[in-house]
Amino acid sequence: MEGKEEDVRLGANKFSERQPIGTAAQTDKDYKEPPPAPLFEPGELTSWSFYRAGIAEFVATFLFLYITILTVMGVNRSSSKCASVGIQGIAWAFGGMIFALVYCTAGISGGHINPAVTFGLFLARKLSLTRALFYMVMQCLGAICGAGVVKGFEGKSIYEVNKGGANTVAHGYTKGDALGAEIVGTFVLVYTVFSATDAKRSARDSHVPILAPLPIGFAVFLVHLATIPITGTSINPARSLGAAVIYNRDHAWDDMWIFWVGPFIGAALAAVYHQVVIRAMPFSRKSYV
């Protein structure tokens, strides 16, 4: 009996239950940091994959505006919020479409569907300036076409009565409130994009299954729940631009700067936070110049 107790004690000492925690438990042996994307990559302009990615962004943003603006119009047309899907339904439409479209296009273009997301990833050197600008142009064109189809379905009078689903600052809120809401909302979105698509995290935490489009879509849903009463929620300059171009009324353009400046600031803050604080890139011996 004493011999068995001795074996147990020796085994406990040999195989300690204490495990490293925090950064001490993080191993990157299966991960190599890729070099940053070049600022300019002229060779992309002769590649079909470059244009295919741009087309994918155009179609995805077109579908995004088509479904979401139609949902907004449907809620605005109803006699009361309770007689329709309401704010929750609008939020689900935006979040659900992002989930579906990112899932469909992630392997082709990365599934940005948002100039702010593209801007944040560009700042993190995940794509070249050439590709970033091309994506933004295609996203804006897709958004305009999507909003245009909605106007064609709804008819001019109904479309204008419901203000075309355009983003504006709601009564009772200041422009500063709206700008802050857009900054924080876009920060949540872009930070989620970085975290959900981080290849280093996938290599390190392979035991945690991550379906990237799901947290991204859920982040869009939650941000819309919070900020629809303030700005109608943009966090996507292409979405605001597409609706404003087709609706084309002065009050839709008055606050347009908020829906570009806010998301771009939020995206930049998210990129800096993820790269500097979460990834500690400037302090990593493996980082590239």
pLDDT (average), residues 260-278: 96
Question: Which of 184-193, 216-225, 243-252 bottoms out in mean pLDDT, i.e. has the lowest?
Answer: 243-252
Class of domain 44-278: mainly alpha
pLDDT value at residue 289: 41
Distance of CA 285 to the CA centre of its chain: 29
pLDDT value at residue 235: 97
pLDDT value at residue 159: 86
pLDDT value at residue 204: 65
pLDDT (average), residues 107-131: 95
pLDDT (average), residues 201-225: 81
Q: Where is pLDDT greater, at 35 or 93?
A: 93
pLDDT value at residue 1: 56
Radius of gyration of the chain (CA): 23
pLDDT value at residue 254: 92
pLDDT value at residue 13: 56
User: The whole model's pTM is what?
Assistant: 0.84
Confidence of residue 264 (pLDDT cuts 50, 70, 90): very high
> Could you state, in order of their start, the residue ranges of all structural domains in the chain?
44-278
Q: pLDDT at residue 89 above 50? A: yes
Chain segment 187-205, per-residue pLDDT in tens: 999 999 999 988 777 666 6
pLDDT value at residue 163: 87
Q: pLDDT at residue 39 above 90? A: no
Q: pLDDT at residue 29 above 90? A: no
Collect all residues with Cβ–Cβ distance below 8 Å to 38 and sequence separation of at least 6: 128
Question: Which of 54-58, 74-78, 239-243 bottoms out in mean pLDDT, i.e. has the lowest?
Answer: 74-78
Q: pLDDT at residue 83 above 70? A: no
Confidence of residue 177 (pLDDT cuts 50, 70, 90): very high
pLDDT value at residue 288: 44
Select from 172, 186, 166 the least CA-distant residue to 262. 186
Helices (H), the chain: 2-14, 48-77, 86-105, 115-123, 129-154, 156-161, 175-196, 199-204, 213-231, 237-247, 250-254, 258-272
Q: Where is pLDDT greater, at 155 or 182?
A: 182
Q: Are 10 and 100 in contact (CB under 8 A)?
A: no
- The tokens describing 271, both together, are 């990129």
Q: Where is pLDDT greater, at 104 or 12?
A: 104
pLDDT (average), residues 259-286: 87
